[in-house]
Amino acid sequence: MDFSLSEEQQLLKDSITQFVDKDYLFDVRQKNIKSDLGYSSDFWKTFADLGWLGMPFSEADGGYDGGPIDLMVIMESLGRGLVVEPYIPNVVLAGGLISRLGNEEQKTNFLPKIISGEIQMSLAFAEPQSRFNLSDVITTATKDGENYILDGYKAVVMNGPSSDTLIVVARTSGTQLEEKGLSLFLVDPSAKGVSMRNYSNVDGSKASEVTLEGVEVSTSSLLGDEGNIYSVLEEVIDLATLAISAEAVGIMEKMNEITLEYTKTREQFGETLSSFQALQHRAAKMFCEIELTKSAVIAAMHAADENSNELERLSSLAKFQAGETLHLVSNEAIQMHGGIGVTEEYDIGFYLKRARVAEQIFGTSEFHQARYADISGF
């Protein structure tokens, strides 16, 4: 398998890296993440102008016909700068579902606005009892003439506070754990019966708890076939899992670089920390595990690019490896910095916070280890 980037992909990586290093200054990031919006609308418009929001979409949908490898390049580069703009909720999740399941009217209404950065969207799929089981859904959608009535509760809706439209997973038939019987609905957050409790995660990113009480939506709000969307939902979540894994690679690479630089300047007992062999061994282990994680993510992205039936298995392998390595690297980075590493005086502490959130998104290492074993027949 060829792990090298094409010329176009390398140019994409260079352009994002240049933006992160020169324009995405850390103090500006901190100011933006503490704002009510939680990110910069100006930066989001820049992402659109540079074509990053349209990269994963086909030319027929108004995009640039990029693939999973291009998505990996984008997310890894954004991870290095702890970019807070909601790329995964809008482009990977909402855009991915609409491009796969939407009718022509829905694609026309939403995809150009996602690509241009005019609209914010979120996927409301998780529930308090479901943990990471996508089919564990008790939110219901009951047919009522030409409408559906939605009732239920959704947890940890990423980008919820900024969303103009929610994509809600609800059960139109079947029992709680059945894969069949799940449907997707486009819901206006300001609709009667929708209430949202907005909050910040430990890394500062915004999320919502969404309550649906007798929310009435028309049949035109149905995304895809009623009761038959699970396989596509799982595919999109797997791709988003790889996206967060690629972001994790960028985070851990940057943490490793910051830590190595710190050990070259920080002195103990008259010697720099980098001169101590024990720390050299720990740094070498960090580097090896990062490279192993990169290989796992690349292999899974190639499976996605080739529409391989190995995507489900390899996405779990990549997320397991990313979670384990992210935990290792973030812990070692803080240990080598000492107590100052968890203060706001040093950037490394903010990388730690994002690392802890990224470990949980779309499933922990324990969940994906068990999923990988189950799929592999162990």
More confident call, 48 vs 274: 48
Residues in the chain: 378
Sorting pLDDT into bands at 50, 70 and 90, what band is 4?
Answer: confident
Sorting pLDDT into bands at 50, 70 and 90, what band is 58?
Answer: very high
Task: Read off the tokens for 61.
Answer: 């949908």
**Which of 17-26, 90-99, 106-115, 335-344 is predicted with the least confidence, judged by mean pLDDT?**
335-344
207 forms beta bridges with: 158, 199
φ, ψ (nearest 5 deg) of residue 349: -65, -35
**Which of 132-136, 169-173, 227-231, 342-346 is predicted with the least confidence, judged by mean pLDDT?**
342-346
Task: Read off the tokens for 114.
Answer: 């996602």
8 A C-beta contact, residue 122 and residue 196: no
Averaged pLDDT for residues 16-41: 92
Tell which residue, 3, 61, 7, 55, has the closest CA to residue 293. 3
What is the spatial distance between Cα 175 and Cα 331, in angstroms, rounded to a whole number? 42
Predicted pLDDT at 135? 97
Domain coordinates in residue numbering, the chain: 7-119, 122-228, 231-376
Q: Do domains 7-119 and 122-228 have the same CATH topology?
A: no
What is the spatial distance between Cα 250 and Cα 256, in angstroms, rounded to a whole number? 10
pLDDT at 276 over 80: no
Averaged pLDDT for residues 122-138: 96
What is the spatial distance between Cα 361 and Cα 352, in angstroms, rounded to a whole number? 15
* Interval 278-325: pLDDT, tens: 888 989 999 999 999 999 999 999 999 998 899 999 999 999 999 999
**Which of 4-8, 90-94, 215-219, 300-304 is predicted with the least confidence, judged by mean pLDDT?**
4-8
Sorting pLDDT into bands at 50, 70 and 90, what band is 228?
Answer: very high
Tell which residue, 301, 351, 355, 360, has the closest CA to residue 74. 301
Terminal Cα-to-Cα distance of the chain (whole angstroms): 25
pTM of this prediction? 0.94
Place of tokens 């200054």: 25
Predicted pLDDT at 269? 79
Tell which residue, 375, 372, 362, 378, has the closest CA to residue 133. 362
62 C-beta neighbours (distance < 10 Å), count:
17
Sorting pLDDT into bands at 50, 70 and 90, what band is 252?
Answer: very high
Q: Which CATH superfamily is domain 122-228 in?
A: Butyryl-CoA Dehydrogenase, subunit A, domain 2 (2.40.110.10)
8 A C-beta contact, residue 245 and residue 297: yes
141 forms beta bridges with: 150
Averaged pLDDT for residues 245-274: 88
**CATH number of the structural domain 7-119:** 1.10.540.10
Predicted pLDDT at 274? 74
Q: Which CATH superfamily is domain 231-376 in?
A: Butyryl-CoA Dehydrogenase, subunit A, domain 3 (1.20.140.10)
Predicted pLDDT at 258? 92
52, amino acid identity? W
Q: Running DSSP on this structure, what letter comes out for residue 355?
A: H
Sorting pLDDT into bands at 50, 70 and 90, what band is 341?
Answer: confident
* Interval 131-174: pLDDT, tens: 899 999 999 999 999 999 999 999 999 999 999 999 999 999 99
- Give the CA dihedral 321, 10, 237, 217, nearest 10 degrees: 160
Q: Running DSSP on this structure, what letter comes out for residue 220?
A: G
Predicted pLDDT at 1? 63
Predicted pLDDT at 2? 66
